[in-house]
Amino acid sequence: MLLERRDSYDSLYRDFRWQVPARFNIGVAVSDAWAGREPDRVALIAHRSDAAPATLTYGELTRRSSALAASLVRRGLRRGDRVAILLPQGFAVAIAHAAIYKAGAIAVPLALLFGTEALEYRLHAAGVRVVVTNAAGLVKLKPIAGRLPALELIVSTDGAEAGALDFEALCASPDPDFAPADTLAEDPALMIFTSGTTGPPKGALHAHRVLIGHMPGVQMPHEFLPQPGDKLWTPADWAWAGGLLNILLPGLLLGVPVVAGPAEKFDPEAALALVERQGVRNAFVPPTALRMLRSVTGIRRRFDLKLRTIGSGGEALGRETFEWGEAELGLKINEFYGQTECNLVVSSCAVIGISRAGAIGLPVPGHRVAVIDDEGRAVKPGETGQIAVARPDPVMFLEYWNNPEATRKKFIGDWMTTGDQGSVDDDGYVTFFGRDDDVITSAGYRIGPTEIEDCLTGHPAVALAAAVGKPDPLRTEIVKAYVVLRDGFVPGEALAAEIRDWVRTRLSAHEYPREVTFVDSMPLTTTGKVIRRVFRDRAKIEADEAARA
């Protein structure tokens, strides 16, 4: 299941073979397997800006997760029950995940940033029976708990209160007779809700094999992880597939220490200080966070960074951010691609020459990826179509929870469709344009928003940007940009004109935003993606009002 170091992509892809055992349990694999050999090996490091870091060893992870699993089983948790984890990055997240899998239950990671309405929807849809959270989570659960008929038990990492059991007490109550569930690799283990950028969130149900399926896609952007001294970190919430399956669980499986640094929002200066202080070697940083890092001047002069690799995904990176990374960080950012239902299937790997500005990369060994038309046929190089992944595939989801119709619609034959528009060039490199709904149609051109947004954030005044199509009677749509300015810049028509010209001279005459509107903030999902739907709706209202005037 691990990639062997090769000097060429062709041999790497050609010779890879999946080795998925019939029986596999994520919880055992990420804790017990290492504890039996090296119980004192460091699994997790908790970064604290005002104190020395704390560490959790594999021996401790095994003991505490097994005790928690036994405690929950004694209280009636059954195989297949859903257990939500509503916590920031930290030891408790890893312990809870391992415990849930060992109990044969299904983990449902949720972000603490969710409001009560979003939480209620997901908890109710998943039929969650147990929630593991903290004091902040208890406050959000209080007004909705009575409307969740399946919810029977709440566990708090901040101690017993308001009817919640004490997490630490449960982790300190071992059962010598407890044995982890003997699960099949195909048994359900994890339910991750889609981000809901294009409709109501759906619960993507994954099997225990999903961790095995992720490994080549983790090793490729991190250039044959693990290497001596490697240490992983991401600012992404571990409730997101990107944080959980790109960093936390793979790191635990490989024996690579993972740094936990909980933060309510991304702070570029604080992030760089963490990377420096903890000696992070391998980082997964989403494109939005990388664009925010571009506001920091003199990074290599001010911070002693030991980074070996940076992987980025979740949305398109863009040429300007790629080139900024090479110039300012001193390494090539390895872009990768996937989605909640089938993650990490395309990637770059600069160390063996798989790197091209503006492209995601090549298919990860073990995965069959194509750009297809509406009939499921591969399009010609250079033509636009939908990115798709062939089944069977160990990283692919089992189904959408309680939604067979949505599951059926996800496939065209044996191709799992992604809803993402892209193309493949003559060398096989995949370029991502955007979601079907995000692609802008203007004067016969199909325009992806990410390249425009990336160019916009290269302007000295622009912190964040969203590009959408605004209905137009002449061109079908025009490109419209909504822009958040950096501190010290004042919105105005002169600046808007300067920003328009910035894009026109760097991209092309048909791609530049004909309208620029300044906004105070950018709506983001919990995974850091811009919710363009908000601005598409706003642009449509503006167009309707203009037509009536």
pLDDT in tens, 361-416: 999 999 999 999 999 999 999 999 999 999 999 999 999 999 999 999 999 999 99
DSSP 292-307: HHTTS--HHHH-----
Q: What is the CATH number of the domain that holds 443?
A: 3.30.300.30
- How much is the pLDDT for 80? 98
**Residue-wise pLDDT tens digits, 152-193:** 999 999 999 878 999 999 999 999 999 999 999 999 999 999
**Residue-wise pLDDT tens digits, 120-136:** 999 999 999 999 999 99
**Residue-wise pLDDT tens digits, 361-374:** 999 999 999 999 99
The verdict on residue 541 lying in a domain is yes
The verdict on residue 105 lying in a domain is yes
- How much is the pLDDT for 452? 87
SS3 label, residue 493: helix
Domain stop point among 208, 230, 249:
208
- How much is the pLDDT for 375? 95
- How much is the pLDDT for 151? 97
Q: What distance in Å separates the CA atoms of residue 531 and residue 315, rounded to the nearest whole number? A: 11
pLDDT of residue 201 exceeding 60, the answer is yes
- How much is the pLDDT for 135? 96
Q: Which residues contact 282 (CB under 8 A, 6 or more apart)?
A: 222, 225, 230, 231, 232, 233, 256, 307, 308, 309, 310, 311
The total number of structural domains that make up the chain: 2
The verdict on residue 491 lying in a domain is yes
pLDDT of residue 436 exceeding 90, the answer is no
* Beta-carbon count within 10 A of 312 CB: 27
- How much is the pLDDT for 265? 81
Closest CA to 357 of 312, 306, 388: 312
- How much is the pLDDT for 444? 59
pLDDT of residue 461 exceeding 90, the answer is yes
Q: How confident is the model at residue 30 (pLDDT cuts 50, 70, 90)?
A: very high
Q: How confident is the model at residue 446 (pLDDT cuts 50, 70, 90)?
A: low
Higher pLDDT pick, 74 / 421: 74
Q: What domain range is 454 assigned to?
A: 437-548
Q: How confident is the model at residue 317 (pLDDT cuts 50, 70, 90)?
A: confident
Average pLDDT score over residue span 27-51: 95
The verdict on residue 185 lying in a domain is yes
pTM given for the model: 0.86
- How much is the pLDDT for 526? 61
pLDDT of residue 471 exceeding 70, the answer is yes
The verdict on residue 203 lying in a domain is yes
Q: Are 293 and 264 a contacting pair, CB within 8 Å?
A: no
Q: Are 389 and 342 a contacting pair, CB within 8 Å?
A: yes
pLDDT above 90 coverage of the chain, percent: 77
What's the mean per-residue pLDDT of the chain?
92
pLDDT of residue 527 exceeding 70, the answer is no
Q: Are 237 and 113 a contacting pair, CB within 8 Å?
A: yes
Average pLDDT score over residue span 516-542: 86
The verdict on residue 493 lying in a domain is yes
The verdict on residue 299 lying in a domain is no
Q: What distance in Å separates the CA atoms of residue 371 and residue 359, rounded to the nearest whole number? A: 14
The verdict on residue 168 lying in a domain is yes
SS3 label, residue 120: helix
Q: What is the CATH number of the domain that holds 134?
A: 3.40.50.12780
End-to-end CA distance of the chain: 62
- How much is the pLDDT for 443? 62
- How much is the pLDDT for 81? 98
Least confident of 272-276, 322-326, 440-444, 517-521: 440-444
